[in-house]
């Protein structure tokens, strides 16, 4: 038996699709620490060779049944993290076909599926945004959100063992360099602009929605710990839950953090952030999530989530200032 934070389950081999991605690498570290053997599927041989500690890593597409069969051989659990992009052509070529290939490989091994879904299943947040829980109906407004919603429904209907579905907001990495380019822009300097001479920081959001919004998030290490704790745990099977910090961080809050760091370095700060209408606080156009089910059924926790995010953002922004100073 394997006991993790009060949760128990029988240890077996795990296959991770997207093993070289943000969550995949963090999950590998957790499984290695806990002595759980794992295999993986990576997009290319070059990516596969970067994985250390796996029993084997197969290079191939998530939509390739042969590659998935090989990667999942002998595994009692499959953690499906891989995705291509938000591009419609990629979703049609890889992600939708992978739905059938992954589920077939899971069932062939009588394995349990752990699937990383997304807040995109809920579509765009209205204004004012609601507080969503896991009984809120999906309402995707993009091809990516529709693909994730289809995955959830099909996996729950077709998997022999009821799957565990983890709905994720923005996943915050430990190192900004490990995030996607859009994430580096979002949490880096996307709303704070250093002038070319490096002497002035301009606080200016891209648009009004951005000005009064923020980010719903979860830390990558909290996701990896939660997935690892629920592998081979019968009580978790069939759970669909949002792994999200109950709080969110406003972009204005991040901008003020960066402004303080810039002033400490002797930079001039020019604030072009629009004032709220009539001086009133505007509600951010973002979802807020109730993680009660995730906490109760999966043991999910996000201790000091906003403080950790602000600390990471401060470290990343300071590194940006240091890099500019050496140019």
How much is the mean pLDDT over the chain?
88
Residue 37 structure tokens: 């053997």
pLDDT at 210: 73
pLDDT over 60 (residue 107): yes
Residue 305 or residue 279, greater confidence = 305
Q: How confident is the model at residue 191 (pLDDT cuts 50, 70, 90)?
A: confident
Angstrom distance (rounded) from CA 78 to CA 147: 19
pLDDT over 90 (residue 261): yes
pLDDT at 165: 98
pLDDT, tens only, 263-288: 999 999 999 988 765 444 444 556 78
pLDDT at 1: 32
Tell me if 40 sits within 8 A of 54, measured CB to CB.
Answer: yes
Across residues 296-315, what is the average pLDDT?
96
Q: How confident is the model at residue 326 (pLDDT cuts 50, 70, 90)?
A: low
pLDDT over 80 (residue 10): no
Q: How confident is the model at residue 24 (pLDDT cuts 50, 70, 90)?
A: very high
pLDDT at 295: 96
Q: How confident is the model at residue 190 (pLDDT cuts 50, 70, 90)?
A: confident
Label residue 86 exposed, middle or buried (CB < 10 Å: 0-12, 13-18, 19+).
middle
Concatenated DSSP letters for 76-145? SEEEE-----S-HHHIIIIIHHHHHHHHHHHHHTTPEEEEEEEGGGG-S--SSPPEE-TTSPP---SHHH
DSSP 292: H
Angstrom distance (rounded) from CA 48 to CA 41: 8
pLDDT at 205: 85
Q: How confident is the model at residue 193 (pLDDT cuts 50, 70, 90)?
A: confident
pLDDT at 179: 81
Across residues 45-74, what is the average pLDDT?
94
Q: DSSP H helical segments within the chain, as ranges? A: 22-34, 45-48, 65-72, 88-90, 96-108, 143-158, 181-187, 208-211, 220-230, 251-264, 292-298, 305-325
pLDDT at 130: 73
pLDDT at 127: 64
pLDDT, tens only, 126-167: 666 678 888 889 999 999 999 999 999 999 999 999 999 999
Mean pLDDT lowest among 24-28, 136-140, 176-180: 176-180
pLDDT at 327: 56
Q: How confident is the model at residue 229 (pLDDT cuts 50, 70, 90)?
A: very high
**Residue 252 CA: distances (Å) to CA of 179, 259, 311:** 21, 10, 15
pLDDT at 271: 92
User: Hey, is 188 helix, strand or coil?
Assistant: coil
pLDDT at 284: 53
pTM for the model = 0.91
Residue 83 structure tokens: 């995705």
Counting residues of the chain whose pLDDT is more than 90, the rounded percentage is 67
């Amino acid at each position: 038996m394997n006991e993790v934070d009060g949760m128990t389950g029988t240890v077996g081999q795990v296959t991770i699709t997207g093993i070289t991605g943000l969550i995949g690498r963090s999950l590998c570290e957790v499984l290695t620490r806990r002595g759980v053997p794992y295999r993986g599927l990576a997009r290319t041989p070059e990516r596969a060779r970067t994985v250390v500690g796996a029993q084997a890593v197969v290079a191939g597409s998530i939509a390739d049944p042969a590659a998935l069969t090989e990667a999942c051989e002998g595994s009692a659990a499959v953690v499906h993290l891989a995705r291509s992009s938000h591009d419609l052509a990629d979703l049609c070529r890889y992600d939708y076909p992978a739905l059938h290939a992954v589920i077939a490989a899971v069932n062939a091994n009588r394995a349990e599926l752990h699937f990383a879904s997304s807040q995109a299943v809920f579509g765009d947040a209205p204004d004012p945004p609601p507080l969503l829980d896991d009984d809120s109906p999906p309402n995707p407004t993009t091809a990516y959100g529709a693909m994730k919603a289809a995955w959830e429904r099909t996996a729950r209907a077709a998997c022999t063992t009821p799957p565990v579905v983890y709905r994720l907001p923005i996943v915050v990495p430990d190192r900004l360099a490990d995030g996607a380019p859009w994430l580096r822009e979002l949490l880096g300097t996307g709303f704070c602009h250093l002038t070319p001479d490096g002497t002035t920081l301009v606080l200016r959001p891209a648009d009004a929605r951005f000005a009064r919004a923020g980010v719903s998030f979860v830390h990558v290490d909290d996701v990896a710990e939660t997935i690892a704790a629920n592998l081979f745990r019968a009580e978790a099977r069939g759970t669909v839950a949002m792994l999200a910090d109950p709080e969110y961080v406003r972009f204005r809050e991040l901008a003020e953090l960066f402004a303080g760091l810039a002033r400490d370095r002797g930079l001039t700060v020019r604030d072009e952030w629009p004032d709220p209408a009539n001086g009133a606080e505007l509600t951010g156009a973002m979802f807020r999530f109730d993680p009660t089910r995730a906490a109760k059924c999966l043991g999910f926790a996000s201790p000091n989530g906003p403080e950790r995010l602000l600390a990471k953002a401060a470290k990343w922004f300071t590194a940006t200032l240091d890099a500019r100073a050496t140019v």
